[in-house]
Structure 1
């Protein structure tokens, strides 16, 4: 067992590692199952046959194949990952991180599907309308549309999606609310309100974030955080989140995401224009709705390849937000206490294996964040 000195007891370190070892294989297994399904359907004639069969059930028209194929791919992808996510949930329940029953979890899955399916159907319908308009140049307007969609979803998410999964109530007037608003004012950040999310209906994990843009911006704290952490620790969590606002991380991420989506569409047009892939999928061209599984498979591969670079960028952004919290509060001791609190309450592996961290971690480990705070203090 490594010696983490005064920060974490051997029992806390062992518990975090045990949870990581128990849940990571299932989490990665779910990703692998979804990717394998996409590859099998996309790079063999099986996917084209599936789209044709589903379309035939609804009359066999081009529109039936487009919408039926998109729906069945979404549903199959959900079904492939569901046993793995259920297993991860069972593991986290064993460690006291889940408070929601299976019925509530199933309702959340259905809510997510109800949001995903219409969006996927609309996007795929628009895409194949463009391929019918121009089998060679469809990607030009599609790239622009993908970029606009990313921007629109980023703005609409806090207004339309967050309320589907959580209830938000204004924080009661008091010293903590006053301190959080004063923190934002000192940071020259306009905040409309401080809200409390009823996260305890699902989890015991601790978190807070700043959501929205401009007039819709609000500080959101989990009720689990407010009920567990010291007020100063809550302030430090919020100071970190204000760092994302101060450095325009959400806006920058949205714009980069829009550019990435446009670039991905361009790459998809290049990949799906290769005869070897079209032949493997058993379709004559991308304008044929039966090419939908091939498009989905190529998108899945691009997404998997983009994962590690995105995680690396995220870790750098989180490190900068940590530094902002230290500079805003001037309280490294409180910051270290907050990191300990979060790591223990969330049963984190405080020092995961480096390859795992490089490939999949969106935040630096607790040990690295605490070390950075001590270095900042010196």
Structure 2
């Protein structure tokens, strides 16, 4: 890059954009005078990486004027167009390349990226495989195919490709990414032990915050709670701003029968991130398990202040009121919002509350409404069948029992009703 280009980047760093534009124009003029293709190419690449896509394109257009014999200018301009969401323009540039061009494998790889961004994953795969047929031993292409499968969730296809890349002895720029992505592929198919194996290959100093989280999560899934706790605490020490880990650390502590410590960590999470409703819910659930109802309800109220439609928090608040036999409170709270009466989970709670209040007609109405949603839910069907037996509604009871036995033909509870009440 010439001195004018360097001054342009200095002006950008100082947020002097008008001055930067002047230096940009002067840099192009100077490059044309000097015929400095290498410096101009470096300048264009730097502009692209810095996100100045329009200026980078202008620079490559100038390079094309100065040295039209080099095809790479069109390739780079196509990459910029795709980065700038001008995908059709980028594809048009790429399709002009001859298949005999030395750059054709690169063209195919950029085309694959373009088609992937359009959601045309099969076409993207075809382009990568075509490039691999030209350069069968090129690791970059194998990584591109593995990354495509990883991105679209085809983990079983990605795994053997990543494992081949993992065995390459020479250092590759994406080496740590391979470990992370390979582990995530194994986690995605439920093989957490395999994911742990690869993540444990990283040295402690090589772990990113995300890879530490993945490792802790994998140990949590394999019920190695002590190791999960250790990893999550390591992560918080390394990166105190990785706040989502508080939820999983609390889960691991709870699973390890350390409820007070789980609550302590979750309350710390609430303190660190007071606008995350899920943190309040998790802490409230722990308070409930520790029989501290008032503290749990206070946290739920705080969560619902800034996220009133947080369904899980509403359900927990209602269920705690049901546990306390505060049925009038349940009805008043849920029916205060007209939208609630159309929500199946709330309809079920309202049905139960009205049944306890001996307002059976209203209970029946809500059970009937909820039934359409919970037709495959055995817990609901059992609760509804209890109500129908008390009401003596044998026709509806028969329908509910038959539906339940379609789901689980060996369910003893429903078999007994069929034999003793409906035969």
TM-score by length of 2: 0.25
Larger proportion of strand: 1
TM-score by length of 1: 0.27
Larger relative contact order, structure 1 or 2 (CA cutoff 8 Å, min sep 6): 1
Larger Rg: 2
